[in-house]
């Protein structure tokens, strides 16, 4: 992916910022500066940038549980701040940022300013070289190398030409940064699906109403035998059940039917983002899915939700071993990334 060109500044040096990056800090530092630029700020406190770094990575860490690598302290800091500041893990970014900026806690301030040791001046290495921190702060005040910002103890001041360039191209530049961040995180989470959709907090989860009315209601209404919740064994009645993500949505980030089943509403709420033990639940899950597809194929052969199964079974001919072989590594990876297993 390419950056928009400019006659007044060297965009090649901005590309170089993200070469051979060993931690996520530069990505989140830059994204947080861009957030402030969208608010037309040219003088930005470091406290705000560090708080926004936490807010920008919050959902990726707490909801999707993406690994940043063993050397990266962003994950550790976010987990500490969530507990220390008593912030809900699903809180909105702006509320997280606002609380961290206004916090009077010295522990919170120390946690945020841990990143001041290297991130602000190391980001400017393509423009200023790799001098000492003190020298790089002094060099940033000069106009010769046209660095994006000047460094001060508690704030940065954006260069006017860079501010104009970034403001004019903010959408494309954010996309460029997210693209590079995706590559960075994918290299550390090679088996985790759909990294790009795990970089931000979705404004709202998609509705599963059609999954119920256009697929599972058909199964429940026309099955020769009553459908049971695979977790509780209770009978499921049309209009009185929840759609359950067998492997948590937080990990897969999709609503494909091969991972969805009807369940007791109360159990669905208590299960949350926990992982089901396959040894206990897979046989019931497989039998329910196989029966559902057979019923819908017979009743509505052109039902669009049948397409969700084609990546697993191209002819919609189910195979128990293949289904389990698809689910098992996903559950293992999710557990390794921090998702808890159900207690049975």
Contact 213, 304 (CB under 8 A): no
pTM: 0.80
* Burial call 303-341: b when 16+ CB within 10 Å, e when fewer: eebbebbeebbeeeebeeeebeeebeebbebbeebebee
For the chain, residues with pLDDT lower than 70 are 1, 202-205
Q: What is the pLDDT of residue 120?
A: 97
| Long-range residue pairs from 321-330, CB within 8 A, at least 24 positions apart, any chain | 323/286, 323/289, 324/278, 324/282, 324/286, 327/246, 327/247, 327/278, 327/282, 328/278, 329/191, 330/193, 330/247, 330/251, 330/252
Q: What are phi and psi of 15, to 5 degrees?
A: -60, -40
Beta bridge partners of 157: 43, 150
How does strand 260-263 pair with strand 242-245? antiparallel
- Say how many C-beta atoms besides its own lie within 10 A of residue 237's C-beta: 11
User: Residue 175 is encoded by which pair of tokens?
Assistant: 């996309």
- Say how many C-beta atoms besides its own lie within 10 A of residue 217's C-beta: 15
Q: What is the pLDDT of residue 111?
A: 97
Largest CA distance in the chain: 79
Q: What is the C-alpha to C-alpha distance for residues 264 and 192, in angstroms, rounded to an integer?
A: 29
Q: What is the pLDDT of residue 265?
A: 86
Contacts of 341 (CB under 8 A, 6+ apart): 274, 275, 276, 277, 335
Q: What is the pLDDT of residue 205?
A: 66
- Say what angle helices 46-62 and 25-38 make with each other, to 10 degrees: 120
Beta bridge partners of 251: none
- The size of the chain, in residues, is 344
Q: What is the C-alpha to C-alpha distance for residues 26 and 15, in angstroms, rounded to an integer?
A: 12
């Amino acid at each position: 992916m390419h950056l928009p060109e400019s006659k007044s500044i060297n965009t090649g040096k901005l590309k170089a910022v993200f070469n051979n990056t060993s931690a996520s800090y530069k990505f989140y530092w830059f994204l947080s500066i861009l957030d402030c630029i969208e608010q037309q700020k040219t003088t930005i406190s470091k406290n705000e940038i560090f708080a926004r770094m936490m807010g920008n990575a919050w959902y990726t860490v707490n909801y999707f549980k993406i690994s940043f690598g063993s050397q990266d302290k962003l994950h550790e800091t976010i987990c500490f701040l969530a507990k220390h500041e008593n912030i809900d893990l699903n809180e909105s970014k702006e509320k997280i940022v606002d609380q961290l900026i206004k916090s009077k806690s010295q522990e919170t301030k120390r946690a945020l300013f841990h990143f001041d040791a290297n991130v602000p001046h190391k980001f400017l290495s393509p423009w200023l070289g790799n001098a000492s921190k003190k020298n790089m702060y002094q060099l940033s005040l000069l106009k010769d190398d046209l660095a994006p910002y000047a460094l001060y103890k508690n704030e940065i001041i954006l260069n006017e030409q860079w501010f104009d360039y970034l403001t004019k191209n903010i959408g494309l530049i954010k996309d460029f940064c997210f693209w590079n961040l995706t590559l960075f995180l994918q290299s550390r989470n090679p088996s985790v699906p759909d990294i790009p959709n795990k970089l931000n907090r979705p404004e709202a989860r998609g509705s599963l109403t059609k999954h119920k009315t256009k697929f599972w209601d058909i199964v429940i209404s026309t099955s020769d035998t009553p459908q049971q919740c695979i977790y509780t064994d209770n009978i499921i009645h049309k209009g009185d059940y929840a759609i359950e993500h067998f492997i948590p949505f937080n990990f897969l980030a999709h609503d494909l039917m091969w991972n969805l089943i009807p369940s007791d509403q109360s159990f669905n709420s208590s299960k949350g983002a926990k992982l089901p033990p396959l040894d206990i639940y897979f046989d019931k899950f497989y039998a329910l899915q196989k029966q559902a597809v057979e019923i819908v194929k017979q009743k509505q052969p052109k039902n669009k939700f049948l397409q969700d199964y084609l990546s697993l079974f191209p002819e919609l001919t189910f195979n128990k071993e293949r289904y389990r072989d698809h689910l098992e590594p996903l559950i293992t990876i999710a557990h390794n990334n921090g998702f808890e297993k159900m207690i049975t």
